[in-house]
Structures are given as structure tokens and as C-alpha cells.
Structure 1
Amino acid sequence: MNILIIDDQKFVREAIKADLIESTFEHDFKTFEAEDANQGIEAIVAIEGNIDLLILDLKMDHCDGMEVINFLSEHPSYADIPLAVISSSDKRTLALVGSIASSLKLNLVGVFEKPINMDFILAEAARLQRQHDHEMVVKSPENVSDYDINQLLDDEQVLLCFQPQVDMKSNSIIGFEVLARMYDENGYIYPDTFLPLIDKAGLNVDFTKIIVAKAFKFWAYEKTLSSYTLSINVTAEDLGCDNLIDYIIRHKQAHAGIKLTLELTESQAIINQASVLNSIARLIINDIGISLDDFGKSYSTYERLDIIPFNEIKIDRSFVCDIDTNEQHHLIVESTIALAKKMSVSVVAEGIETENVLNILAELGCDIAQGYVYSPPIEGRYLTAWVNRYVHKDIAANVH
């Protein structure tokens, strides 16, 4: 396992190497060292990016760690290097740097306050690698221009995956969020690749119709899933389209037994216009639930609380995933749950990856949990088998 340590203090580098020798992880560690950002960048190039873990100090003499972070982001061939940022800076600064690294699409293991625990960092790196191994093969975003998005939609080259949502008190499955993937002869294509193309082509509504039709058809066919809520993402643009609202309502009326929730994303600003509120009213009248997705992330969150009649708040994963280490995020999640309780609406926390985060959310009174701690998104053809395994496992646990 190749590990590059970039830190201007020799005793820190020596301490990290000593911790690696004493580590409980069974690896042959080969370490490389650099005293500053420039040396670190030279080492990355010299090793040709063959690095299994990059440990980067933020505050160094002459140049800081942000230079390395910017270098990684500007060179796609190095952006996948697992990055662990370490520093003695205050927690707000650490959180800011973590946010920047994530926004730059770097392979961030975490941002860790000195003194560090190498076993913990190695465990996080291993967990992220396992998570990456479970993900489906994705065509390179560099080939985005190769996609004929109109043809893919015409051929309905859309695959539905489902991520479970679990009641935190009973540990029972209550529903699934629908997550779309597209595919061509080269493999699967993820949303961060195809959604911008759909938006650019003005095909958002057409795409949502395909998702709705496929989801209802699948749920109606798989009778064993009928008791679970089906959650589908919609945008502000979708809400402004009467034709789409009619389309959704017709499907709901044709399948009255299916419990449907629409997750309203905050990726776009909602203009307080009569047509949008009229659409929401029509959906609610037809027994379709409304969830505020990505809550707290952007676009006038509290204005949405004031104007939209909803029955669920979904806290964005960026606040949830690290509440065991990020005090600010812990406070944001805690206050959001408290607010939801006062408003008598349910709270879903998404992006839960560890038991520790799950336990904290339970203590805070969160209602519903979603994330890799239960399962990554599951392709439709495997969903019934997964549900059966989960239910039988839960029954066995209760018996014992």
C-alpha cells in the first residue's frame, strides 16, 4: 500500500510512519514523504499517481495544502487518489476545506484534527474503497459529449434503482427512493453525467415521465412491494408543468393502492407562483405526499416551509454523514429534527454510512433513515430478494 505523507514537520511524518508499523491493518506499507506542497506535487507526478492514500497537512511553511488540493482537482488522472487532510486548524476551517475538496469531486477520505488516529483513517479509507467497489461501472464523464441523450430517452435506456428507507424505531422498511441510472452499450451512466445533458436539452419533464411510468409499472407488478412507499424526485420545473401533474395523478388514480411521495429537490429556486402551488394542491388532494428534499442546502429553505404544505422533511446528506465528528452539522441536524417535531412532520435523514451516525440520529429523534448503512441503491431485479433477506434477518433478530 503506497502512502504519501506531505507535512512540513519531520516528527509528524515519523509519528505517522511509526503508527503504520504498529497498525492493526495487515498491509505492506510503502511510504513516501514530502516537506511542502511543491515537493508533494512532484512526488505525485514521479509516482504517476500510484498512491493508495495521500496524507496532506494544511498549514505548512512556504506553501499550504490547498495548493495540492487544487493540483489534484486540475488533473483528473490524480483526482481519484484517496485524500486524508490533517491539520491543527479550528473545526470551522476543517469543515470548509472538507466542503471544498468534496465540491471539487476529489476522493476525500476525511478531514482530521491533529493529533490523528492512523487506524481510524485507514479504516475510513478501506470503507470508502469497499463502497466504491459496490458501485456500478460508470462510463467516464470525459466522454459526456459522446452521449445522444435524445436517443437514450427515445429508447428509454433508463434503469431504476431503489434505496430503502427504514423506520428508526421499529427497524422496519417503510419505503424506497427511486434513483435513476441510464445505460448504453458501454455500461451504466450516473446522474451527475446525464442530468446536465437532460437539462441542457430541455427534456426534464420527459425524463420524469419515464421515471414515473417505469416506477409505477414495477411497483404494480411486484405485489410483495405494494405496502412500501414509493418516493420519486421532482423539480421546480416539473411542478410548473400541468401536463406532467396530470400524468402523475392519472398513474396514482390507476394504482390507488400504491403509496406515492414526491421528493421536491432544492436544486432550483421555486417561484411563489399560482401554478406551482396549484400543482402541489392537486397532488395532495390526490393522496400524493410531498417531501422537502435536500433540506437546508439552498434556495430559501424557510420560505419553502412557509408556502409549501408538506408532510416530510429530508435532511441533506452533506449535513448527516459526519454528525459524529462535525459539531456544526450535528447542531443543524438536531435543530431541524426539533423543528420538524414542532411542525408534526416526519424527518428522513439520508446519507447514513455508519452505525455511529445512525445511533446519534436515533438519540435525536429522527424518524426515518436512509443510506449505505442499510444498502446502496438496489437494481430493480434484485429488490425483492433483498427485501426478503432483510425481513427474515429482522425477524430472526427479534426472535433471539
Structure 2
Amino acid sequence: MPVKRVLAVDDDRRVLRILKQACESVGFEVFPVEDASFFPSVFDSFNPGVVFLDLNMREADGVELLRHIASSQPDTCVILASGVDERVITATYKLGCSLGLRMIDPIRKPLMIADIRQRLKIYSSGTTIRPDFCEPLPEAALRQALDEDRLVVCFQPVVNLLQGGVVGAEALARMLHPTQGMILPQRFIAQAEKHGLIEELTFAVLDKSLLQLRQWAGRDSTFGVAVNVSPLLLGNQELPDRVVSVLSRHEIEPQRLTLEVTESHGFEDHFSAAETLTRLRLKGVRLALDDFGTGYSSLGQLVQLPYETLKIDKSFAMQAEHSDEAAAVIRSSLEFARHVGLTVVAEGIQTRTMLDWLGELGCNFGQGFYISPPLHAEDFDHWLGRSGSVEFGPGLRAGEGPQPGDVARSDKMIAY
């Protein structure tokens, strides 16, 4: 019989209230812990069956608490409930599995009561160990998902840090699995590249993204969308014509689409890649180099290839408040971009301090969980529809803490 006691650990009282309400509604006793320094003593005395655990708290980080759980009561079920970067959550989940803990799929913030109840249902059923959360999606499962149209596209807002306003969104792929739920791209992008499915996957994302952009066009004709493209596709000389064909079918102007070239691989044929990228630019499509600073790119690529934008990898913004090295990478990237005429998008903005600092440095655009997590299309549409008078940018006073929807859109289109 499952132990129906929940220890909820988070330094945000609003989150604790949501967890308490959701857990008590399905018959669980809840002990909220706001100060993580009290966790060891409370955990040992309360003897919970389930721990909902935030990862980024003032008094301690989630990894420290995972180790205490593993050494004290390894049979405890752990559910990570956090708003940190997906890769950090995945790494922490893997650590929990390696420590022998009973892990259930994490919940991303903002928390939804339905998600909390669903995780408790899994716990009550005894199906708590899910190592497949981290394993690559098998080729057959990926093919089936594409055949059955189980691809889901979420959208993360991109905002103008200098003038204020929302200028567009990055399209982020997910897969809906019949038993595992929503699967993140870390589990299937490399598999798609390995098994020759990356072109089909990319154009499925492009089609869904432009379909949604067309629906937003009536609200804001300058709004743009960015779609990731694997370097493996750049050797295909038919790519520019195919992209334009999809744009034409959805009646979308080419300049409203940004293709983000990831750094996951070097170019197999640099000449062919340069030709493909140049033809895309000539057709009006905007180009960005994604995850700058972490992969195969060089400063030479940014000069030799027709990019308009570089996107500084999220790891730098997430570390810059505490790392002089990460802050130096951001400063030097911005300085280089100014000299060669590129615009810059900073990913991974998690705090008001970082947003303000990037704006002061002259960073053009930004995205991250402080602004908004990736949203399903209907939620993003609601987010846009609630635009108010508060803008992200120099005019917003520190400490105002903008809420989703309190963001005025930019009045002109800018390549981001």
C-alpha cells in the first residue's frame, strides 16, 4: 500500500500552495518545506512516500537533497518540479536514477494541478521507475510517431531587450508518446539524424509552425517564428525551394521565418552548406547560428556564411551571474557581433537581473523562463492576447516582476 504522505520542497509559497491543494484533493497528507535547510530533519521524521522537489533554492540545491534521500530512505518516490533548464532537469533525473531512487517524470513550472495529480496516480499504481525518460527514442517509435502525426510544436517568446515588445517565437519540437507522455527533443533529434528522418521531422515542424504563424497573422503581421535546422540538411540543394514552397502554401512572407542552424555537427560539405544558406537568404529567409559558443562553429563561420543573427547558448546566461568566465563570453560575443553587423539573441534568461544586464550591454533580443517557458499554441495565443502596457526593456523598473501577458509587442519586424 503506497504511503500517502507528500513532502513538498520549494522556496516559493505560491508553488507550495498549489502542491498542497493538488495533493490533498486526492487524499494525500502534505508537509510543505519552504526553507531547504530544514529538509533533512523534516524528511527523516515525516517519512514521506513522495517528495516534490525544486532544484534551485536559496538554502540548498536539489542535488544535495537527492543525496540525503538516497542515503536515508532510497525507497522514497521523487518528482522533480522545477523551472530550470531542461538539460539540468534531465541530468538531475539521471542522477536520481543512478542513486537508486524511484523517479517519476519531472513537472515543469508553472505547475498545473492536473500534472501533479497525474504523477500521484503513477505513484499510487506502483509504476514509478522510468529510466526511459532519458533513453533515446527507438527508431521504430520515432517513425511511428511521425506516421501518426504525434509531433507537438511549442513556442517560446522572443522579446526585444532594447525597445521592448515581443518580436516572435522559437518553435520547439516535442513528441507525444502513448504511454510515456510528452517526450523532449533530447531523446529524438539525434535519433532522427542517425536514421535519416531529420528532413521529414524538420518539415513537419516547419509546416505546423507556419500554420500557427498564419493564424497569428491577423493579430500582428510583423510577428516571426524561428525553426531549427540540422546542419545535415544543408547539403541538400533542394532545401531552399522546399522551404519557399511551404511558405507559399501558408501565404507567409519569407522574412517572417528564421532558420536556426544548430551547432550539433560540423558541415559535411562546407561549400554546399554555404550555397544552400546563401540561396535561402536570397529568397528572403532569415538565418541564425544557434547555440553559439558550445559546438562546432567558429568566428570564421559567422563571417563567411550569410547569417544575420547569432544566438548565445543558454548555458552562458544561466551562469553569468555567478561566473566571470560566462559573463566574459557574453560580452565578447556581443562586441564581435556589433563589429560584423549581427544581431544577438541571448537564450536562457532566468532572472530579472540577467534581463537588465543583457539590455544594458546592448543585447538585441532574449528568451528564457523568466520571460516565459515554451508554451502550447493555444496557451501562447492567450499569452499574446493578454498583452498589456508593461514592456521588457530599459523602461521597465527592476522589481516589477512582469507576468506572462504583461508584454507589449514590438511595432516593427526585426530579424532575431
TM normalised by structure 2 equals: 0.65
Task: Quote the residue 1:230 is aligned against.
Answer: 225
Residues 25 and 32 (structure 1), Cα distance of their counterparts in 2 relative to 1, 3 Å cut: closer
Asked if 1:336 corresponds to 2:337, the answer is no
Asked if 1:29 corresponds to 2:29, the answer is no
Residues 129 and 179 (structure 1), Cα distance of their counterparts in 2 relative to 1, 3 Å cut: closer
1:211 to 205, 214, 222: 205
C-alpha separation between the residues in 1 aligned to 2:277 and 2:139?
37
List alignment gaps of at least 5 residues for structure 1: 4-23, 34-42, 58-64, 84-100, 109-127
Asked if 1:185 corresponds to 2:171, the answer is no
Q: CA deviation at 1:197?
A: 3.0
Partner SS for 1:282: helix
Residues 203 and 171 (structure 1), Cα distance of their counterparts in 2 relative to 1, 3 Å cut: same
Asked if 1:173 corresponds to 2:166, the answer is yes
Task: Quote the residue 2:241 is aligned against.
Answer: 246
Residues 327 and 389 (structure 1), Cα distance of their counterparts in 2 relative to 1, 3 Å cut: same
Residues 56 and 376 (structure 1), Cα distance of their counterparts in 2 relative to 1, 3 Å cut: closer
1:195 to 171, 174, 189: 189
Write the deviation string for residues 353-382 of structure 1: whole angstroms up to 9, x where unpaired.
110111111121111010111111111122
Q: Is the 8 A contact 1:161 1:180 kept in 2?
A: yes
C-alpha separation between the residues in 1 aligned to 2:385 and 2:145?
33
Q: CA deviation at 1:200?
A: 3.2
Task: Quote the residue 2:26 is aligned against.
Answer: none
Asked if 1:266 corresponds to 2:244, the answer is no
Asked if 1:257 corresponds to 2:257, the answer is no
Question: RMSD value over aligned CA atoms?
Answer: 4.1
% identity of equivalent residues: 25
Asked if 1:131 corresponds to 2:124, the answer is no
C-alpha separation between the residues in 2 aligned to 1:2 and 1:365?
40
Give the alignment of 1:309-320 within 5 angstroms: 309-320=306-317
Q: CA deviation at 1:307?
A: 2.3
Residues 275 and 103 (structure 1), Cα distance of their counterparts in 2 relative to 1, 3 Å cut: farther
Code of the aligned partner of 1:234: V
Q: Is the 8 A contact 1:322 1:357 kept in 2?
A: no
Code of the aligned partner of 1:142: D
Q: CA deviation at 1:291?
A: 0.4
List alignment gaps of at least 5 residues for structure 2: 1-6, 10-32, 95-105, 123-129, 392-404, 409-416
Q: CA deviation at 1:170?
A: 2.0
Task: Quote the residue 1:291 is aligned against.
Answer: 288
Code of the aligned partner of 1:284: R
Partner SS for 2:319: coil
C-alpha separation between the residues in 2 aligned to 1:76 and 1:294?
39
Q: CA deviation at 1:239?
A: 1.2
Asked if 1:142 corresponds to 2:136, the answer is no
Give the alignment of 1:55-74 within 5 angstroms: none
Write the deviation string for residues 22-67 of structure 1: whole angstroms up to 9, x where unpaired.
xx9478934259xxxxxxxxx9xx999959589899xxxxxxx9xx
More off after superposition, 341-350 vs 181-190: 181-190
Write the deviation string for residues 190-209 of structure 1: whole angstroms up to 9, x where unpaired.
11122233233210011001
Partner SS for 1:321: helix
Residues 174 and 328 (structure 1), Cα distance of their counterparts in 2 relative to 1, 3 Å cut: same
Code of the aligned partner of 1:229: G
More helix as a share of residues? 1
Code of the aligned partner of 2:356: N
Q: Is the 8 A contact 1:168 1:367 kept in 2?
A: yes
Residues 81 and 148 (structure 1), Cα distance of their counterparts in 2 relative to 1, 3 Å cut: closer
Partner SS for 1:230: strand
Code of the aligned partner of 1:198: A
Write the deviation string for residues 148-193 of structure 1: whole angstroms up to 9, x where unpaired.
2111101221111111110012221111101111113333221112
2:145 to 141, 152, 155: 152
C-alpha separation between the residues in 1 aligned to 2:298 and 2:386?
38
Code of the aligned partner of 2:132: E
C-alpha separation between the residues in 2 aligned to 1:156 and 1:147?
14
Number of residues of Structure 1 aligned to a counterpart in Structure 2? 321
Bigger-Rg structure (1/2): 1
Q: CA deviation at 1:320?
A: 1.0
Code of the aligned partner of 1:150: R
Write the deviation string for residues 120-153 of structure 1: whole angstroms up to 9, x where unpaired.
xxxxxxxx98737369969955164496211110
Task: Quote the residue 1:384 is aligned against.
Answer: 381
Q: CA deviation at 1:278?
A: 1.1
